[in-house]
């Protein structure tokens, strides 16, 4: 009989998370940092990937400097480009963070005395640090850097900045204004269309014509007026001809939603050469696209390495392009409905899609539970919950740590039936506070997991049982801590938080009261 090899990847990832959380402790010593570095090195690329993500997201300069210190435990070829990219792109680095990054880059032989690194790693970190020649000469990276800064401006300053671009006699400005047309902001769109009428180059006329062809309902507006202004100057777009169809997708992949409602979505498209353009997105079930990174000319081997890592860490699987585009359009719909701005890198790199592929539209999983919900046998429930697609089903909300601390106190101070009653009270309050307000989201999240199972060629019975589980939660009438799946979800979330607390991770303001005596 074939025995499945035990999966220890989740334990490994949890251990990495706890180690990286320890880095933020106020009284951590250099010796402890080195101990953490040696421990992370054992997990190699898995730990490095999490470390780099922390670096990109961290705001505190002291914490950034500690994370940068840990990079030295890994091969520089694996992280040097990321650190340079961080230095070029981030505008919120304080003096401590910039000094740490500068020192590390110098130690690797990088010249930080010349632009653009010199302007990034010295002086104050105020906005507006890039000149237009630097932006336009920096290719896509320069455009991303500009848009990240642009999105931090107040509304009035954004409109002023767009107006200033109209004074630049450089055809490359057109690419910057084209990106601004993707923001979905009506005022920014109108300002960009008006600015294009003052840029006396063929590229400007072509963009205006193409924009009108995609949005005929806007005829007579600023795009029409700008096109007419250019035509008076003898600048008319070349004959449109037949629009070229976009090149086919090379690969589309996605992972299941995790316990907080996040998932990864990856697109790779042929460029017609020996490289690929790819875009990796982080989606959230409520607000849509919250993160993006990619490349316009990645070697296929680099993409494959990226996907292998994602497969191991986030259970990413290959899917059909039509399905991946449905998820993308749904995310764009949620960005629009919640007024959540699209990430700068997505705005720059979304040129890899055609207009029809980016039309916002909600997506409802086709696999819906029946009107009657058969109860799941314990074995079927375990089969669903033990599946790899649920390996990241735990909540990271800070409130979880409070309940985990209460659980720990309960086990230290009581036993037997008192301990059992106390745990029931903790679970009851946990589920009331954290699950009740978002039970519809958990229901839909499970349907999306079932949907992906079916599309990824998993066992149809597994997908059906997952859909049944979703229906059972939506129609559960007892307190939620009595539902076996939600109970397990709560316990695993608290267990992970508890392990972090026992490793010394501290969370300000957690409730460690003894209300389990109720």
Query: Which range (178-187, 373-382, 456-465) has the least confidence?
Result: 373-382
- Residue 486 pLDDT: 95
- Mean pLDDT (whole number) for 18-34: 83
- Mean pLDDT (whole number) for 70-81: 89
- Residue 371 pLDDT: 46
Query: Which range (142-151, 195-204, 250-259, 483-492) has the least confidence?
Result: 142-151
How do residues 180-219 score in pLDDT, each as one tens digit? 999 988 889 999 999 999 998 899 999 999 888 887 766 6
Provide the edge-to-edge strand list for the sheet that holds 288-298: 288-298, 276-284, 262-270, 249-254, 317-318
C-alpha dist (Å) from residue 145 to 128, 129, 133, 393: 10, 10, 13, 34
According to the per-residue pLDDT averaged within each range, which of 1-15, 54-68, 336-350, 492-506 is highest? 336-350
Alpha-carbon span 510 to 474, nearest angstrom: 30
- Residue 374 pLDDT: 54
C-alpha dist (Å) from residue 464 to 257, 298, 320, 443, 452: 17, 38, 20, 14, 11
Q: What's the CA dihedral at 510, 514, 515, 518 to 10 degrees?
A: 170
- Residue 127 pLDDT: 39
- Mean pLDDT (whole number) for 112-126: 65
Query: Which range (19-23, 105-109, 319-323, 340-344) has the least confidence?
Result: 105-109
Alpha-carbon span 203 to 169, nearest angstrom: 12
Is the pLDDT at 95 greater than 90? The verdict is no
Furthest C-alpha separation in the chain? 89
pTM of the model as a whole: 0.73
Closest CA to 50 of 384, 310, 365, 348: 310
How do residues 326-358 score in pLDDT, each as one tens digit? 999 999 999 999 999 999 999 999 999 988 899
- Residue 510 pLDDT: 57
Distance of alpha carbon 90 from its chain centroid, rounded?
Answer: 16
Q: Which residue has the tokens 């997991």?
A: 449
Alpha-carbon span 75 to 89, nearest angstrom: 22
pLDDT band of 5, cuts 50, 70, 90:
very low
Query: Which range (168-172, 314-318, 378-382) has the least confidence?
Result: 378-382
């Amino acid at each position: 009989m074939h025995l499945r090899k035990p999966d220890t990847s989740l334990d490994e990832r949890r251990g990495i998370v706890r180690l990286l959380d320890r880095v933020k402790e106020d009284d951590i010593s250099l010796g402890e940092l080195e101990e953490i570095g040696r421990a992370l090195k054992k997990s190699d690329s898995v730990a490095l990937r999490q470390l780099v993500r922390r670096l990109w997201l961290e705001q505190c300069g002291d914490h950034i400097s500690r994370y940068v210190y840990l990079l030295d435990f890994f091969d520089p070829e694996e992280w040097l480009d990321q650190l340079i990219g961080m230095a070029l792109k981030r505008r919120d680095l304080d003096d401590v963070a910039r000094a740490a990054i500068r020192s590390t880059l110098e130690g690797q032989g990088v010249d930080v005395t010349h632009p653009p690194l010199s302007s990034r790693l010295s002086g104050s970190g105020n906005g507006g640090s890039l000149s237009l020649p630097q932006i336009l000469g920096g290719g896509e990276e320069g455009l991303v850097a500009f848009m990240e800064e642009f999105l931090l401006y107040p509304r009035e300053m954004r409109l002023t900045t767009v107006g200033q671009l109209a004074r630049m006699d450089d055809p490359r400005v057109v690419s910057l204004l084209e990106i601004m047309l993707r923001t979905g902001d009506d005022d920014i769109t109108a300002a960009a269309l008006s600015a294009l009428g003052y840029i006396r180059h063929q590229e400007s006329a072509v963009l205006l014509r193409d924009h009108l062809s995609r949005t005929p309902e806007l005829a007579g507006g600023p795009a029409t007026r700008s096109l007419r202004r250019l035509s008076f100057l003898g600048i008319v777009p070349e004959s449109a001809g037949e629009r070229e169809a976009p090149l086919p997708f090379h690969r589309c992949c996605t992972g299941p939603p995790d316990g907080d409602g996040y998932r990864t979505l990856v697109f790779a498209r042929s460029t017609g050469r020996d490289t690929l353009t790819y875009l990796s997105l982080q989606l959230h079930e409520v607000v849509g696209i919250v993160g993006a990174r990619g490349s316009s000319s990645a070697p296929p081997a680099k993409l494959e390495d990226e996907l292998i890592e994602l497969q191991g860490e986030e259970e990413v699987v290959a899917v059909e392009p039509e399905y991946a585009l449905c998820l993308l359009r749904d995310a764009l719909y949620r960005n629009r409905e919640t007024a959540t701005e699209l990430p700068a890198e997505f705005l720059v790199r979304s040129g890899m899609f055609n207009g029809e592929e980016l039309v916002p539209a909600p997506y409802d999983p086709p696999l819906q539970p029946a009107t009657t919900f058969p109860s799941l046998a314990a074995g079927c429930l375990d089969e669903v919950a033990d599946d790899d697609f649920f390996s990241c089903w735990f909540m990271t909300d800070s409130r979880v740590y409070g309940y985990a601390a209460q659980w720990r106190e309960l086990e230290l101070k009581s036993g037997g039936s008192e301990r059992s009653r106390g745990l029931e009270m903790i679970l009851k309050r946990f589920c009331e506070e954290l699950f009740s307000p978002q039970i519809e989201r958990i229901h839909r999240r499970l349907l999306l997991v079932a949907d992906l199972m079916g599309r990824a060629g998993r066992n149809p019975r597994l997908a059906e049982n997952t859909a049944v589980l979703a229906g059972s939660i939506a129609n559960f009438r007892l307190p939620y801590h009595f539902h076996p799946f939600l109970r397990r979800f709560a316990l695993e979330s608290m267990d992970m938080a508890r392990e972090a607390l026992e490793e010394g991770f501290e969370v300000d303001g957690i409730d460690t009261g003894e209300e389990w005596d109720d």
